[in-house]
Amino acid sequence: MTSRAFIAGCLGTSLTQDERAFFRDARPWGFILFKRNTQDPAQVAALTASMRECVGWQAPILIDQEGGRVQRMGPPHWPPYPPALAFLAINDPVQQREIVRLSARLMAHDLKSVGIDVDCLPVLDVPVAGSHDVIGNRAYARDPVMVAKLGRAAAEGLLAGGVLPVIKHMPGHGRAQADSHHDLPVVEASLDALRAHDFTPFRHLADMPLAMTAHVVFTALDARKPATTSRRIVREVMRGELGFDGLIMTDDISMKALSGSFAEKSKAAIRAGVDVVLHCHGIMDEMVAVAGAVPAMTGQRARRAAMALARIRHEPEPIDVDAARAQLASALALGGS
């Protein structure tokens, strides 16, 4: 049966009977895990297997595993990873890129071993002075070219390990002076400034398979609607100017930046041209509303989804995990010197 254009979460470390029944009937295209869902490797592997059993195919399973303060799988069962900004301490630019790739390759190893095959990384947002610290050290740098370079290294590391990267938050969250989890940020920068700065990393990584939208209003593009629900931003900027032809998903539709009911928000994103709606909280009545508002995965969205998944249907690049972890720790400790 055809999947529907949404990604869903669950409440705990295993599926309830109600969740199983809902997923079988609603057929989400994918699933997402959070810290509340990750107890130990055996449990996560069982959970991902049960999610896929509900929908009857190798559906993508996502997680936010960036490192630093955004790491859903951590000690004692998984190692901690540094935030993106930490890699700037490595002085040699060649080694810096190599270590970013290595860190992402190790993350992919951790994720793939428990059935997770999509990581919401890299963050391609470029912070500016005075912006909210919701991005902060999650960004690789304040220079858009450096963000593009290191973001690609992270994406390559994930892909080598059989995990899809998600570039985020398109077309850029770095200027936001509010946290879109709680408020709607409004960016008043000129279109020229956005093109020269915020858009740059996304333009450089437009060949990536998946992207996540920003719940941010850009007054130079659409004074009324945030990027997630703006037809002009999705179709003319993301698809047109930035040249992105991969699958576009919303950021979490539950975030307070968006107004309206869950059905209204979901329909608005789909009308704008977004392919898939992301709902993270696992709250049943919200998921039911989202499922009822989104279309089936057909046409262009089905093509984009298939093209994305085709990027990881291979054996991961071989890796000596212990040696790689030692190399990562040494490079960060020494600052690359």
Q: Which residue numbers are catalytic?
A: 181, 251
Peptide bond into 169 cis (omega under 30): yes
Exposure of 18 by Cβ count < 10 A (0-12 exposed, 13-18 middle, 19+ buried)? exposed
For residue 218, the cross-strand partners are: 187
User: Is the CA virtual torsion 219, 222, 226, 227 positive or negative?
Assistant: negative
Report the distance separating Cα 64 and Cα 243, nearest Å.
25
CA atoms within a 13 Å half-sphere pointing along the CA-CB vector of 230: 24
Query: Alpha carbon of 137 to those of 21, 65, 88, 92, 115: distances in Å?
Result: 40, 14, 11, 20, 28
DSSP class of residue 212 equals E
| Angle subtended at Cα 220 by Cα 212 and Cα 241, rounded to the nearest 5 degrees | 55
> Tokens representing 237?
């900027």
Is 28 within 8 Å of 84 (Cβ atoms)?
no
With beta carbons less than 8 A apart as the criterion, state whether 307 and 278 touch: no
The maximal CA–CA distance of the chain, rounded, in angstroms, is 55
CB 328 within 8 A of CB 106: yes
Nearest to 167 by CA among 197, 199, 130, 123: 123
